[in-house]
Amino acid sequence: RKEVEQDPGPFNVPEGATVAFNCTYSNSASQSFFWYRQDCRKEPKLLMSVYSSGNEDGRFTAQLNRASQYISLLIRDSKLSDSATYLCVVKKGGGSYIPTFGRGTSLIVHP
C-alpha cells in the first residue's frame, strides 16, 4: 500500500458544482497534512493546511479523519479557474519533517 493515495481522476464537473476529493494515508503516526494545488507545467502551491478540527477558506473546506486515516478537500461553487491538479501531502511527526506527496487528483471544471 502506498503511503499516500489519491484517485488520479480526472474529475469533470460543470461550473457551480460541488466536488470532493479524498486522500488516504497509511502511517498512523502522521501529524501534519496539507493540500497543494498544481497548475499545468507550474510548481505546486500551498492551498491549505488541514487541522484536526477541519478548516475552511472561502469555497474550500478541508477535513481530517484520523480514525479512518484520510483527509478530504471540498470545493463549492466550482470555477473554471479551479481546474488544476490537487496534491495531498502528509508529514510524519517524531522529528521527521520530510513530506510525502500523493500523485494528485486532476480537476477539470467546464462551462
Partner 1 sequence: DGGITQSPKYLFRKEGQNVTLSCEQNLNHDAMYWYRQDPGQGLRLIYYSQIVNDFQKGDIAEGYSVSREKKESFPLTVTSAQKNPTAFYLCASSTREYQETQYFGPGTRLLVL
Q: Which residues bind partner 1 (CB under 8 A)?
A: 8, 31-32, 34, 41-46, 49, 87, 89, 91-93, 95-99, 101-104
4 close to 21: Cβ distance less than 8 angstroms: no
17 vs 70 by CB, closer to partner 1:
70
Give the whole-angstrom CA distance, residue 95 versus residue 60: 30
64 vs 89 by CB, closer to partner 1:
89
CB of residue 48 vs partner 1: minimum separation in angstroms? Answer: 10
Give the whole-angstrom CA distance, residue 38 versus residue 29: 26
Residues 11/14/19/25 CA torsion (nearest 10 deg): 20
Give the whole-angstrom CA distance, residue 10 versus residue 63: 21
- Three-class SS state of 82: helix
CB of residue 42 vs partner 1: minimum separation in angstroms? Answer: 7
CB of residue 77 vs partner 1: minimum separation in angstroms? Answer: 26
18 vs 96 by CB, closer to partner 1:
96
47 vs 109 by CB, closer to partner 1:
47
Place of cell 478541508: 62
CB of residue 18 vs partner 1: minimum separation in angstroms? Answer: 26
